[in-house]
């Protein structure tokens, strides 16, 4: 879907001056890989630098904002619509996520009922109508559910709301499998729009083992690793208190890990079109990668 501005350009017309839109990033990855942890800590880190960030949780579990908002459970768009609300205003939907942070949760139907992906399409209709993107944000982060297997959850990249997609991955087989599928989705939509891949964010338990695996995978699909995160107990401690690390223990050395990732996103963005593997190529590649990983994955 082309924006009005792009349609005007295609006709040789000059669009009216529009307010600058925020830099918009979508974060995808296999379920359970740590996307919400990564996004909420990154949001809080950037906010501590004076950036204004909107974090949009696109998961029916409505847990993206858990580490940021002061009250729980959160208000969700789907709950408001189910209650018959209409003519929504920003204050109906936007929650305070702390200094410099605002949060939105899409929510979804009850488990086993309806299609959660459909809520995303409705969300963007509401956000455009409320002119939410003109509220002076520096960043909008979309924390998106799982793999790109449903068109509904591809809305941020498909309809041009996200400029860059970052894939959170570990070095595990299924995590890399999902990352390749997501790269395929990016490549498909890049043909008809401006969406690009920003890179991989590695969230691992064992850096000594996983680093070589992920680096090889990144090279194979024509991308790069933006940042490296290794498991640390302080992240779990912070999450138990529903806080990002930068707020829970601002003096902890692990805060520097989030600072490094924030630096990479702010200063080293290299959006590109990935070159994902076919199912057969991926199967062979991962078999070779894991089959020889213990000896020397290089």
pLDDT digits (tens, 9 = 90+) for 112-171: 665 656 677 888 889 889 999 999 999 999 999 866 656 666 788 877 788 899 999 999
User: Which residues have CB under 8 Å from 113's CB, separation 6+?
Assistant: none
Does any domain span residue 212? yes
Locate tokens 């982060």: which residue? 141
Q: What is the CATH number of the domain that holds 281?
A: 3.40.50.300
> β-strands 164-169, 101-105: how paired?
unpaired
Does any domain span residue 1? no
Does any domain span residue 145? yes
Structure-block tokens of residue 106:
């899409």
Does any domain span residue 138? yes
Whether 61 is catalytic is yes
What's the total number of domains in the chain? 1
Domain that residue 96 falls in: 20-291
260-290, pLDDT tens digit by residue?
A: 999 999 986 789 999 999 999 999 999 898 8
Catalytic entry in 6, 52, 59, 61: 61
Catalytic entry in 35, 59, 143, 210: 35
The least confident of 56-60, 114-118, 289-293 is 114-118
Catalytic entry in 59, 143, 147, 210: 147
Whether 219 is catalytic is no
Does any domain span residue 174? yes
Does any domain span residue 4? no
Alpha-carbon gap, residue 119 to 83, rounded angstroms: 14
Does any domain span residue 7? no
Measuring CA to CA, how many Å separate 150 from each of 145, 182, 185?
Answer: 10, 11, 10
Does any domain span residue 10? no
Whether 35 is catalytic is yes
């Amino acid at each position: 879907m082309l924006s009005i501005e792009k349609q005007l350009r295609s006709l040789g017309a000059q669009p009216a001056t529009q307010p600058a839109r925020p830099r918009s990033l979508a974060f995808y990855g296999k379920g359970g890989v740590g996307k919400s942890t990564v996004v909420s800590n990154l949001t809080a880190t950037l906010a501590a630098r004076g950036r204004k960030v909107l974090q949009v949780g696109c998961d029916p579990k409505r847990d993206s904002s858990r580490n940021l908002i002061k009250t729980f459970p959160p208000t969700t768009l789907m709950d408001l619509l189910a209650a018959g609300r209409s003519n929504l205003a920003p204050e109906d939907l936007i929650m305070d996520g702390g200094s410099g942070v605002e949060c939105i949760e899409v929510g979804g139907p009850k488990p086993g009922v309806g299609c959660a992906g459909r809520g995303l399409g409705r969300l963007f209709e509401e956000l455009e109508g409320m002119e939410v993107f003109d509220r002076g944000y520096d960043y909008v982060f979309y924390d998106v559910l799982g793999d790109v297997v449903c068109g509904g959850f591809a809305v941020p990249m498909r309809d041009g709301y996200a400029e860059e997609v970052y894939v959170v991955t570990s070095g595990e087989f299924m995590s890399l499998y999902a990352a390749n599928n997501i790269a395929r989705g990016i490549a498909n939509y890049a043909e008809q729009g401006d969406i690009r891949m920003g890179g991989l964010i590695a969230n691992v338990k064992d850096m000594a083992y996983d680093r070589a695996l992920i680096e090889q995978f990144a090279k194979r699909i024509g991308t790069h690793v933006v940042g490296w995160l290794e498991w640390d107990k302080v992240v779990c401690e912070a999450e138990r208190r529903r806080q990002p690390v930068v707020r829970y223990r601002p003096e902890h050395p692990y805060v520097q890990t989030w600072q490094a990732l924030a630096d990479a996103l702010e200063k080293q963005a290299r959006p590109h079109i990935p070159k994902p593997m076919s199912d057969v190529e991926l199967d062979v590649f991962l078999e070779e990668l894991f089959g020889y990983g213990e000896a020397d994955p290089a």
